[in-house]
Amino acid sequence: MAVYEYTARKTNGDVLTGAIEADSQHMAVQKVQQMGIYITNLRTKTEAASASHELFAPIRIGLKDLAVLSQQFATMINAGLPLLRTLTILEEQTSHKSLRRILGEVRADVERGSTLSEALAKHPATFSTLYVNMVRAGEAGGVLAEVLLRLAGFLEKELALRQKVKAATTYPVLLGCAALGSLLFMTMVIIPQFTAFFQDLEGSGALPAPTQIVIGVSALIQSLWWVGILLVLGLGFAFRRYVRTPAGHAWYDGIKLRVPVLGPLHKKIVVARLARTLGTLVGCGIPIMRALEVASAAMGNVVVARAVDTVRASIREGESIAVQLAATRMFSRMVVQMVTVGEETGALDSMLAKVADFYEREAETTINSLTSILEPALIVGMGIVIGAMLVSLYLPIFSLATAAR
């Protein structure tokens, strides 16, 4: 998904600038037009950066900082502080330099007559489409403090889920790196010393086949290690370039959903994010069509986003959300039934929040189960490989000892 910067005019003739995330230039134009303004210029973020000769890319603000900012913002608005005064206080008290600079620019835009949502929309690297749309709904409904509290809760839940995934995968990754380092050390340092020892032996005869294989692999790695590094870097670069294309991105997201073991886990995380995002938007009073559009853009998975877009296109004609979710075959029966109950009772936001809670717990349980299996598997696998290499190196010595008796 690209970031587009636009210049537009309001109906009263005022010039407005901002940025928006979209999958294509056509979708960016549609999103801007839905704001009731008319585009006079549109270009991608990279083109805008080149035109302004920026030296540094924008620094993204962490979810924790945004959650704290939203919480403080809501508290001060609830206390009756004016918007400009609140922005000034937030700017002065934040310790994050980039966030302080962004808040200063937002405050300056509000002073010039922009709404808060318009000012936030100029910083898409910090304030997502979801964030901006929720703030816009809060401004329109006069419930900005409540919306900011919902945003803070949403960001805290998202941060907690990411931290659980990160914490669960850190140890297996470190263990895998240690195993790879041990194998390289054996191949590059230990095995060459045994090779020199075997060459100095006289009358040792032919080396056992396992020993010859290990020595041959070691010699190949020592002589062509640079080819391996170049090959890995080249394949990594080509893969990243392909994944950044629309077709490559869709292919990779589909693979992530279908790969054994990890695919179901990824799907649980994506469904939890969709339910949490959509429930938060609906709870803030954003129309369901707009909520689905924003949720689709926040998915991070093209396959699921396309399924959500299909649902949005169908309910425009009066279809039920639950029926269309079932038609995509992307969502479980439990999700469909919960959405059905939410539609029937008028409590769609709370039902979606329950779906999100359920899938977040399921994802956490799955992660813990995979970690408990993966850790001993890596240890046993590393032990088997290193043990096999050591045994193959000592086989000629055992043969010599047996022959000397």
**Residues 273-292 pLDDT 10s:** 888 888 888 887 888 888 88
Using DSSP, state whether 250 is helix, strand or coil: helix
* pLDDT score, position 233: 92
* pLDDT score, position 50: 38
- What percent of the chain is modeled with pLDDT above 70? 84
Using DSSP, state whether 379 is helix, strand or coil: helix
Over 70: is that where the pLDDT of 37 sits?
no
* pLDDT score, position 405: 58
How far is 281 from 314, CA to CA, in rounded Å? Answer: 19
Q: Would the CATH topology of 63-156 be identical to that of 157-405?
A: yes
* pLDDT score, position 25: 64
What is the band of 29 on the pLDDT scale with cuts at 50, 70, 90? low
Over 70: is that where the pLDDT of 59 sits?
no
Q: How far is CA 47 from the centre of its chain?
A: 24
Query: 73-104, pLDDT tens digit by residue?
Result: 888 988 888 888 989 998 888 888 888 899 99
- What percent of the chain is modeled with pLDDT above 90? 3
* pLDDT score, position 61: 76
Using DSSP, state whether 173 is helix, strand or coil: helix
Q: For 285, list phi and psi in degrees, rounded to 5.
A: 90, 10
Query: 201-231, pLDDT tens digit by residue?
Result: 654 456 778 888 888 888 888 888 888 889 9
CB 135 within 8 A of CB 144: yes
How far is 334 from 339, CA to CA, in rounded Å? Answer: 9
138-156 average pLDDT score: 83
* pLDDT score, position 234: 93
Query: 326-378, pLDDT tens digit by residue?
Result: 888 888 888 889 989 988 888 888 899 899 889 988 888 888 888 888 878 88
What is the band of 262 on the pLDDT scale with cuts at 50, 70, 90? confident
- Domain spans, the chain: 2-52, 63-156, 157-405
Over 90: is that where the pLDDT of 237 sits?
yes
Closest Cα to residue 91, out of 71, 73, 111?
73
* pLDDT score, position 295: 82
Over 80: is that where the pLDDT of 7 sits?
no
CB 291 within 8 A of CB 281: yes
CATH code, 157-405 = 1.20.81.30
* pLDDT score, position 403: 62
Q: For 244, list phi and psi in degrees, rounded to 5.
A: -75, -15
* pLDDT score, position 30: 67
* pLDDT score, position 54: 35
Can you give the pTM of this predicted structure? 0.67
What is the band of 46 on the pLDDT scale with cuts at 50, 70, 90? very low
Residue 40 DSSP one-character state = E
Over 70: is that where the pLDDT of 11 sits?
no
Over 70: is that where the pLDDT of 24 sits?
no
110-138 average pLDDT score: 85
Please give the single-letter amino acid code of residue 186: M
Q: In this structure, which topology does domain 63-156 adopt according to CATH? A: Receptor-associated Protein (1.20.81)
* pLDDT score, position 292: 86
Mean pLDDT of the chain: 80
What is the band of 35 on the pLDDT scale with cuts at 50, 70, 90? low
146-171 average pLDDT score: 83
Helix boundaries (H) for 244-347: 246-258, 262-283, 288-297, 302-315, 321-328, 333-345
